[in-house]
Amino acid sequence: MGLLLLLVVAGAAVAAVALTVLGFSPTQAGRALEERSPVEMIGHAVRRLEGHPRLQAVLHPPLRWLHARFVQEPGGPLRDLGKGVRAFGLTPQRYDDKGAPLPASPAAAGQRAVAATKLLGSAVEIAGAFDAARAGDVFEIGPGTYALPRTLYTRQGGRADAPITLRAAAAGTVILEVHQVEGVVVAHPHWVFENLGWRGACKDDDACEHAFHIVGDARATVVRNNRLVDFSAHLKINGHQGRYPDDGLLQHSSLVNTRPRVGEAPVTMVDLVAASGWQLLDNHVEGFIKQGSNGVSYGLFMKGAGQRGRIERNVVVCTPTQVGQPGLRLGISLGGGGTSATACRDKRCELEFDGAVVANNVVAHCNDAGIDVNKSRGVQVLHNTLINTQGVLLRNAPAEARVVHNLLDSAVRHRAGTTLSAAVDNRRNGDLARWLVDPQALDLRWREAPEPVATPAEVPLDFCGRRRAALSEPGAGAAAPCGGPASR
């Protein structure tokens, strides 16, 4: 503990010196120390030093050394917590009375899907299906790897009672190789994509940006039980000509990068701008490192003056190894890095997002905030488990959040002008191993369970979708992996 305190003081001191040398007053540097974590301060100092080669030569080495010591490395392979792609797929897709998709559950072995209306056996046939699709069609791709000849574009929409489905019979049997900036552009409502593998196969990382670009009229798009590998933004969701793809669902999908992304393209696995009503549930998101531009990357964000988002029961791992490498990585964000007024839904962006629930997530191994609230209000941060991150951060007015019953090894911080409406029973400890068997490896079984707390009405279910009791322990409740075998 003495060494940790010494490192904190040393890191803050070096960062403060760097900022003072660059023109910050002692008062400004002191205020920054109160509002920012040591890792943030060090990263900010490094960025401020750009363009000052002499200062960089003197101050970079101690800043890099300290940065590497404020983050911990996982001791071994991370435990599978039962999120992402499921081997047996999901139960049939259903919709509510307004046509919005409802969450599904992992299917049991042998559970039958709706019969396919057409089988596809080549890349040409897959592309042709997008041109010919009509409401109610179910296209099933035969096992194999297919290099897509071009970006695929939807031409017609489905309906809630007759969606258009593109699927594989089983997860892990079909890989669609993308050699373009975008794999598929979805611009029509009620499409379902399930059990598919998508792989970015471009030589230049910036040339493979998105597996899915969901735009305009693509209301109620469903991406479920897909595995998406090696893109800069696996899902890009935004408006087009005043139309917005609201009420979508991303569930039980695995979004992974096998290596850092090198280039200028933004790196955010789910990049949602100006859309409302989206649900991001039960996904495994891992490996979003940006080498290039400002080096800042995100796992999931919602921004651009959208409303009514739900981010729940996901595992978000910024990087499973080399946590202390350069760059800043944030797990889940409302607001991201901000949005230009022209891209915002209200064309003002006085507010980045309004009304979101961030609950029952496990966020790990991020050298910046695990959960970030930027210029967003009405945010409920409930029953999350944050491991080896810089905690929960509220920044830029009018950011406002209720932060309740989380389990974390760092702080809940809110900067000047933001409102922490409640910070109740957040169990904070510099070493979560007091409570958990091996938090660094995501072994979240209780070693010593904290006292249970009153379950908020907004989170009746836990990390595995089980109903919580009236009193339940803080954190996501991921004591054991969730049911249903994974698919690799």
Report whether pLDDT(342) > 60: yes
The reply to whether 55 and 100 lie within a common domain is: no
Q: Can you tell me the distance from the alpha carbon of 171 to that of 433, in angstroms, rounded to the nearest whole number?
A: 35
- Which two tokens mark 12? 């803050």
Report whether pLDDT(68) > 70: no
The reply to whether 46 and 148 lie within a common domain is: no
Range with lowest mean pLDDT among 19-23, 36-40, 171-175: 19-23
The reply to whether 55 and 165 lie within a common domain is: no
What would the mean pLDDT of 213-242 be, rounded to a whole number?
98
Residue 83 lies in a domain: no
Q: What is the pLDDT of residue 142?
A: 98
Find the CATH number of the domain harbouring 233: 2.160.20
Q: Can you tell me the distance from the alpha carbon of 311 to that of 458, in angstroms, rounded to the nearest whole number?
A: 12
- Which two tokens mark 366? 């991020």
Residue 10 buriedness (CB in 10 A; 0-12 / 13-18 / 19+): middle
Nearest to 267 by CA among 288, 242, 236: 288
The reply to whether 59 and 136 lie within a common domain is: no
Residue 79 lies in a domain: no
The reply to whether 133 and 54 lie within a common domain is: no
The reply to whether 365 and 445 lie within a common domain is: yes
**Is 306 in a helix, a strand, or coil?**
strand
What would the mean pLDDT of 185-209 be, rounded to a whole number?
97
Residue 233 lies in a domain: yes
Range with lowest mean pLDDT among 28-32, 188-192, 404-408, 462-466: 28-32
The reply to whether 316 and 420 lie within a common domain is: yes
Sheet holding 144-147, edge to edge: 144-147, 174-178, 197-200, 227-229, 254-256, 284-286, 315-317, 362-364, 385-387, 407-408, 427-428
Q: Can you tell me the distance from the alpha carbon of 481 to that of 464, in angstroms, rounded to the nearest whole number?
A: 8
Amino acid code (one letter) for 427: R
The reply to whether 23 and 141 lie within a common domain is: no
Residue 80 lies in a domain: no
The reply to whether 65 and 149 lie within a common domain is: no
Task: Please say whether the beta carbons of 228 and 239 come within 8 A.
Answer: no
Report whether pLDDT(352) > 80: yes
The reply to whether 34 and 157 lie within a common domain is: no
Give the list of residues 6+ apart from residue 242 with CB closer than 8 angstroms, or none: none
Residue 458 lies in a domain: yes
* pTM, two decimal places: 0.90
- ∠ CA 48-53-55, nearest 5°, is 65
The reply to whether 60 and 134 lie within a common domain is: no
Nearest to 382 by CA among 424, 351, 416, 354: 424
Residue 482 lies in a domain: no
Number of domains in the chain: 2
The reply to whether 109 and 193 lie within a common domain is: yes
Confidence label for 33 from pLDDT (cuts 50, 70 and 90): low
Residue 331 lies in a domain: yes
Q: Which domain holds residue 40?
A: 2-69
- ∠ CA 265-270-272, nearest 5°, is 90
Residue 309 lies in a domain: yes
